Structure 1
Amino acid sequence: MKRRDVLMQLLGLAACGALPVSLIHAARAEDDAPVKSQPFSQEALRETAQRLAQEPYVAPSDARPPWLAALDYDDYQALNHFRADRSLWAGGELPFQARFFHLGLYFHYPVSIYEVVNGLARPIKFSPDLFNYDPRVKDKLPEQIGDLGFAGFRINTRSDWDRDMFSFLGASYFRAVGVSKQYGLSARGLAIDTGLDRPEEFPVFRAFWLERPAADATALTVHALLDSPSITGAYRFIISPGETTVMQVESCLFPRHAIERLGIAPMTSMFQCGENDRRVADDFRPEIHDSDGLALWTGSGEWIWRPLLNPHYRRVNSFADDNPHGFGLLQRDRDFADYQDDGAFYHKRPSLWIEPLGQWGKGAVQLVELPTADETMDNIVAFWNPAEPAQPGRELNFNYRLYWGQQPPVRPPLAEVVATRIGMGGIPGRKPLVPTRKFVIDFMGGRLDRLAKEAKVEIVVAASRGEIRDVAARPILESNQWRGHFDLIAGGSSPVDLRGYLRDAEGALSETWIYQWSPPPGA
């Protein structure tokens, strides 16, 4: 299908009350004709996504001219200096400014971006005058650069015009920061078939609409059109930057065909090594990760903590639930000493908590862990997978809030897991007769803070297979923490699912710790 054919289809949608939303930059570059403002509404965007799902999928093509495709990583960084004085809403009268990313490197095709004022959408046009090109690349640029379009955008706020608070760039990825102003993990609009035995599908945001904020606004509204071979969607983000940046997301999804594994509110992070997993740890830094655990607040009210892993092979865990209260990928280790990294600042990286709005019904939080050799590759994905399959002809609606910050908005009233450590089991100085692993879990908070050191506390442990030995719990005298520990004799090569929590005579003292231990290959 040719670009002209697609454009004509979209203009046909406009005549039916929907919006012409994709390939508009490419058409403008070819025709060199001005594009007038056009009416915009959230409902019209929803209708566009619905109608688009009934059309054959048209994949975006690589829009980089040869000179741009030839630039390397350092060249792209020298290219991608947006001029702050040319920001959308520059001048300081409004509380937000939008700045745009240059096409190039990993970002091969442009997205359409519009400003919405009083219900009218005006396209934001690319110009090389919007960027300060570094001398490194100036001799590699043609005399006429043309209308390349933008790869994405970022938003700065009045509190700090120099450092952005959130950005949308690449496929359906976006991310945000809180008070630390340190980026870390990312979110996505949608995940398709993640963790299966075939390549996953990456939906893309084809177009964005940024509503001009009022002078006293504390939130910015962004609309987006999502498209992929399997599904389309209309999104609205109401984003409130702050100490914790909050994004309220409303999504209307329209499957083109049946989807085996649909991922709602997906999060993407990195875990190379930590206290519990030293498999890839030939580094001076003790820990290297954007997140160290998956937290769950189930529909039944149970709080669960699952430390992350860098496994030998792809691992997918599914945690069944019914109307979950929330879940998230958290960074609990907050001391510089945990990482010893004064460049990446992992101790400042935000946690991300998902709060479902409305009834999500039955499904599962799914955790996908992939092996990684270094910190440059994201290897952790978590999302909600509805139990009811996504089928064509049906509209799916999922609303939720995302909280980006140092701490999630809600925490268990019980003690939290603060560390998990694993090593050789048995008694020091005595070689164990059979392979044994010792698990040591430290807890802090809740009623533990009020217990006497001589209080009777036990750790309740269960394993899917193998033998548990030497179970004990005690206070750590040098701190306000309690420690539970046990030995596991796995007796085989298949994974072992572990579960444990602290309790006393009054009941549970801690959240539930869960872990999947896999004996190393050849064990």
Structure 2
Amino acid sequence: MIAPRSSGSLILSLCTAACLATHAADLTLADVTDFESLQKLAAQLALKPYEAPSQQLDPFFESLKYDGHRKIRFREEKALYSEDKESYRVQFFHPGWMFKKPVEFYRVDGAASTPVPFNPELFDYADLKLPENFKKPEGYAGFRVLAPHSLMDKRFEFMVFMGASYYRAVTTELGYGISARGVAVNTIGGKPEEFPDFTHFWFQQPKPGEKYFRILALLNGPSITGAYQFDTSPGKTTDMLVKATLHLRQPVEMLGIAPFSSMFWFGENSHPKPYDFRPEVHDSDGLQIEIADGPSIWRPLDVSRDLRLSIFETDKLKGFGLGERDRDFNNFQDLEAMYHNRPAVWVEPIKGFTKGSVVLVELSTGEETWDNIVAMWRPAELPKSPEEPLNVEYRLAWLEEQLPGLLCKVISTRRGFVMKKEDHEYVVDFTKGGLNLKKPQDWVPELEVVISNGDAKILDKRVMHNRETGGWRAFFKLDVPPKTNLLEMMCEMKDGDKVISERWMYQWRR
């Protein structure tokens, strides 16, 4: 017979159970082995005050400049998973110079998660004279991922995570260019912009022949926490599947999902151009948007003295991205930067992209060192409390270009004054497209031009066959009054009521 418990014992047992339950609910970093456990950790973290990641580096590493930092090389034979050449391998970056925040790593094998502590023996310090008994950093600065040797029959680095929540990828044919971010916070809206960090990463043990390499990442910032899963496969198109669950610690002015940063200094449409031997300097030359049952938009990039902001609202987003459509070396003439070989990026929504807007920010710049272009998806509705998650999922492709189906594609934008007049002339070249229109040889499309957000008079509009490209060249001229400082322009080619081209959109500022 089991003796009845006293009320005091019952209360003690209930308290013990509650304490154990609370303890069980509090996951640690070492408890993370999959996306679901990381989601729980991020939700748990959102209810706690923000603590910024920091470390007191040894004065030697703290004072490193660019040239000194770049001398520190990871020893290739020490890479994570280096025991198998047909496996993905991970190499780490040493903290120093601009990258001083610690980033911690774990390796996941089945149901076990093991820390990867900082180890100076993983690095070759070249001719740097390290002080004796220097203080070891608490973590690394970031990492790169190498593809299995058989993909290119050589060492091939295809992905890098380093600095805040930034990451970049390449293809087997195109080099680094655009940077992606985990999330953008208050990029516009008036409040100071925040740059949350990927503070911890978990690498899933790759299996022989596995196509995708899985990474888990914990995002942490003053206003937000998040759990991320990246499944990436390199190739001519580097394919990345991104899942994220976000929690807002506090309300934000703006949240950007799937944000990119790129650089546009000047292009064929820029006036006046800098005094530079190169005809064009940019990583990307346009924003591309596809709306389900709607237009396919191409918005050429440009910069001016003031910030340029463009917002494209929709509840039927099919995809968006930044492109580099000009692939002709003659239009760049840069043997080092090779701007004609920069990848485009394309976001295909899977979950969480209902009502909102694609946002494009173009900042003024006077050189090519820093990114000045930002594109992202801005949800119309945000969580109201830290407990309410925002779940998003999307496919992110790093590729040569995203084709707009069979529509005539915009391939160049040029502008200038009409000779001996102050009228503005725009010249937009399109490809022939893949639509089988079965028209007479002398047929040309109609051109629709729409001007908004300012006064201007359309003086002329027409289309002619471009014998050099085999496509179409659209012209239109504008009389812009002196009082007009801003215009939004749109043009597209039609066969009667049927749209046969991308919708070209442009913002002009005086």
Q: What TM-score do the two structures reach when normalised by structure 2?
A: 0.91
* Aligned partner (choices 312, 316, 322) of residue 309 of structure 2: 316
State the distance in 2 between where 1:385 and 1:69 align. Answer: 37
Question: Which residue of 425, 431, 451 maps to 1:463?
Answer: 451
Work out the CA distance in 1 between the residues paired with 2:22 and 2:65.
39
Which residue in the other structure is 1:24 paired with? none
Superposition deviation, residue 94 in structure 1? 4.0
Identify the match of residue 79 of structure 2 among 69, 80, 87.
Answer: 87
* Alignment map for 1:374-389 (pairs within 5 Å): 374-389=367-382
Q: Distance in 2 between matches of 1:280 and 1:56?
A: 48
**Deviation readout 1:255-289 (Å, 9 max, x if unpaired):** 11112211000011010011111445321111111
| Deviation for aligned residue 1:372 | 1.0
How many Å apart are 1:92 and its aligned residue? 2.9
- Residues 314-367 of structure 1 show CA distances to partners (whole Å, capped at 9, x for unaligned) of 121110000300000011111111211111111111000000003521110000
**Pair 403,119 (structure 1): closer, same or farther in 2 beyond 3 Å:** same
Partner Cα separation in structure 2 for residue 92 and residue 101 of structure 1: 21
Quick one: which amino acid aligns to residue 245 of structure 2? Answer: C
Change (3 A) 1:296 1:38: closer
1:64-463 aligned at under 5 Å gives the runs 64-79=57-72, 81-135=73-127, 138-158=128-148, 159-160=151-152, 161-358=154-351, 360-392=353-385, 393-408=387-402, 410-425=403-418, 428=419, 431-432=420-421, 435-447=422-434, 454-463=442-451
Are 1:299 and 1:323, in contact at CA under 8 Å, matched by a contact in 2? yes
8 Å CA contact 1:62, 1:109 repeated in 2: yes
CA distance change for structure 1 residues 504 and 299 in 2, over 3 Å: closer, same or farther? closer
C-alpha contact 2:351 2:391 (8 A) present in aligned 1: no
Check 1:359–1:76 CA distance in 2 against 1; reply closer, same or farther (3 A cut). closer
Q: 2:471 is matched with which residue: 477, 481, 486?
A: 481
Q: CA separation in 2, counterparts of 1:181 and 1:454? A: 39
Paired residues for 1:489-500 under 5 Å: 489-491=479-481, 492-500=483-491
1:272·1:280 contact (CA, 8 Å) conserved in 2? Answer: no
Paired amino acid for 2:495: D
Q: Does 1:502 align with 2:489?
A: no
- SS at structure 2 position matched to 1:104: coil
3-state secondary structure, aligned to 2:340: helix
Gaps spanning 5+ residues in structure 2: where?
1-19
* Aligned equivalents of 2:32, 2:411: Cα separation in 1: 52
Does the CA-based 8 Å contact 2:58-2:136 persist in structure 1?
A: no
- Conserved 8 A contact 2:259-2:376: yes
The 2-side partners of 1:368 and 1:13 are apart by: 47
User: In terms of Rg, which structure is larger?
Assistant: 2
Distance 1:203 1:300 in 2: 36
**Partner Cα distance (1:75, 1:14) in 2:** 48
Which amino acid in 1 is paired with 2:393?
Answer: N
Q: Which residue does 1:25 correspond to in 2?
A: none
- Residues 1:13 and 1:382: Cα distance change in structure 2 (over 3 Å): farther
Name whichever of 441-450 and 284-293 sits farther off.
Answer: 441-450
| Whole-angstrom CA distance in 2 between matches of 1:220 and 1:399 | 17
Tell me if the contact between 1:294 and 1:328 (Cα under 8 Å) persists in the aligned partners: yes
2:370 is paired with a residue whose SS is coil
Q: 1:287 to 1:123 in 2, by over 3 A?
A: same
Q: Unaligned stretches of 5+ in structure 1?
A: 1-11, 22-36
Tell me the distance in 1 between the aligned counterparts of 2:99 and 2:23: 32
Q: How far has the Cα of 1:142 moved from its partner?
A: 4.2
Q: Distance in 1 between matches of 2:259 and 2:509?
A: 25
Q: What's the CA shift string for 1:133-186, capped at 9, x where partnerless?
A: 121xx2254443424421111100122453310011110001101122410001
8 Å CA contact 1:299–1:322 kept in 2: the answer is: no
Q: Secondary structure at the match of 1:153?
A: strand
User: What is aligned with 1:48?
Assistant: 41
Structure 2 contact 450–491 (Cα < 8 Å) conserved: yes
Q: Give the letter for the 1:470 counterpart.
A: D
**CA distance, structure 2, for counterparts of residue 344 and residue 449 of structure 1:** 39
Name the SS of the counterpart of 1:48 in structure 2.
Answer: helix
Contact 1:18–1:45 (CA<8 Å) still a contact in 2? no
Residue 511 (structure 1) aligned with residue 502 (structure 2):
yes
Identity %: 39
Q: Contact 2:244 / 2:392 at 8 angstroms: preserved in 1?
A: yes
Change in CA separation of 1:221 and 1:13 when aligned onto 2, cut-off 3 Å: farther
**Structure 2 vs 1, CA of residues 280 and 201 (structure 1 numbering), >3 Å: closer, same or farther?**
farther
Compute the displacement of 1:445 (Å).
3.3
Normalization by structure 1: what TM-score? Answer: 0.88
| Contact in 2 for aligned 1:93/1:215 (Cα 8 Å) | no
1:17 deviates by 4.0
**1:449–1:480: 8 Å Cα contact kept in structure 2?**
no
**What is the one-letter code of the residue matched to 1:479?**
T
Q: Secondary structure at the match of 1:49?
A: helix
> Counterpart of 1:110 in 2: which secondary structure?
coil
Residues 489 and 133 (structure 1), Cα distance of their counterparts in 2 relative to 1, 3 Å cut: same
Q: CA RMSD in A?
A: 2.0
- Counterpart of 1:16 in structure 2 is 24
How far 1:198 moved relative to its partner? 3.9
Instruction: Give the Cα separation in 2 of the matches to 1:340 and 1:270.
Output: 17
How big is each residue's C-alpha offset from its partner over 1:176-226, in whole Å with a ceiling of 9 and x where there is no partner?
A: 011224100010000001133343111111100000110110110100000
C-alpha offsets along residues 370-410 of structure 1, whole Å, 9 cap, x if unaligned? 011111010000101011134223110010010001122x5
